[in-house]
Amino acid sequence: MRLCSPLLLCLAAALSSAFVISSTQMWTKLILTHHWPSTFCVMEPCHPNISYWTLHGLWPDKGVECNSSWHFNSSQIEDLLPDMEKSWPDLLHPSSTGFWKYEWHKHGTCAAKAASLDSQHKYFSKALELYHKVDLDSILKKFDITPSDKYYTFSQIEGVIENFYRVKPKIQCVHPSKNADAQILGQIEICFNPDFTLLDCDKHGYWDNRMAGDKASGFSVCDHDTPVYYPPLQ
Ligand SMILES: *[C@@H]1O[C@H](CO)[C@@H](O)[C@H](O)[C@H]1NC(C)=O
Ligand SMILES: *[C@@H]1O[C@H](CO)[C@@H](O)[C@H](O)[C@H]1NC(C)=O
Ligand SMILES: *[C@@H]1O[C@H](CO)[C@@H](O)[C@H](O)[C@H]1NC(C)=O
């Protein structure tokens, strides 16, 4: 018993300092997440009327909900709102700011640990800037990856992205059922270093984005050997 309690105390101290480190340490990767509205609305109660890749979020690889007292205030991004509505729409509630508020609290307040992103205006405008710079929707179209009733192979889609950007994306699908003949393309992540240069999404991966990610949403990394359905608007 004598040996045990200091050991437990040490363990507790080690765990709590690990927690402090992980919640205060600077992130090392930013994940620009795009989603495909038609696939999102397979899982969620919405009727897609958008046929381009929209922003889901800009996620640092460390931390979620880093400052709950830093409230979202849409008047600080007033000038960005027309672009926000087009590029980062709330697919569930089209005229609400709820999605941006959620993303700010969950991810923006953590991204804001970097001086380059330490205000709502800096965070949202950088996300929009990166989204336009990456221009994923145009690149896929340009290389003939378009929504279609025919299936793609996973490597066709991954190949176009890797060849163009020269980094590894993370591509996620919805898997309708174990025996389905195809998986549905849903989400594409493009990753950045803290200086906003492109980075392989599998680099660093301290927390990866298990914390930042969306386990509950039904997306998971696409299977390499299953055909991919890239659904057109119904
Ligand atoms: C999609 O529908 C929503 C809600 O009905 C509307 O506000 C929005 O402008 C539409 N978007 C497009 C691209 O048609
Ligand atoms: C949290 O945000 C508030 C409001 O912007 C700010 O005053 C405070 O310094 C922040 N706290 C931390 C720990 O960054
Ligand atoms: C939101 O931001 C605006 C513009 O900076 C400011 O005038 C206003 O007081 C803020 N509202 C809240 C509730 O903090």
123-175: pLDDT as tens digits? 999 999 999 999 999 999 999 999 999 999 999 999 999 999 999 999 999 98
Q: CA 58 to CA 55: how far, in whole Å?
A: 8
Residue pair 124/84 in contact (Cβ under 8 Å)? The answer is yes
Does any domain span residue 11? Answer: no
Q: Residue range 35-44: average pLDDT?
A: 94
> Quick one: which ligand is closest to 41's CA?
1
Other CB atoms within a 10 A radius of the CB of residue 138 amount to: 12
> Quick one: which ligand is closest to 70's CA?
2
Does any domain span residue 15? Answer: no
- For the chain, the domain total comes to 1
Q: Is the pLDDT of residue 48 over 50?
A: yes
pLDDT tens readout for residues 139-150: 999 999 999 999
Question: Does the pTM of the predicted model rise above 0.85?
Answer: yes
Does any domain span residue 80? Answer: yes
* Residue ranges making up the domain that contains 128: 28-229
Does any domain span residue 204? Answer: yes
35: domain CATH number is 3.90.730.10
Does any domain span residue 12? Answer: no
Q: CA 110 to CA 158: how far, in whole Å?
A: 29
**Structure-token pair, residue 89:** 């729409």
57 CA → ligand 1 middle, Å: 20
62 CA → ligand 3 middle, Å: 28
Q: How confident is the model at residue 1 (pLDDT cuts 50, 70, 90)?
A: very low
52 CA → ligand 1 middle, Å: 13
Q: CA 35 to CA 40: how far, in whole Å?
A: 7
Nearest residue (by CA) to ligand 1, atom 6, is 94
Beta bridge partners of 59: 31
Q: Residue range 22-33: average pLDDT?
A: 83
Q: Residue range 3-29: average pLDDT?
A: 53
First and final C-alpha spacing in the chain: 67
Pocket of ligand 3 (CB under 6 A): 73, 75-76
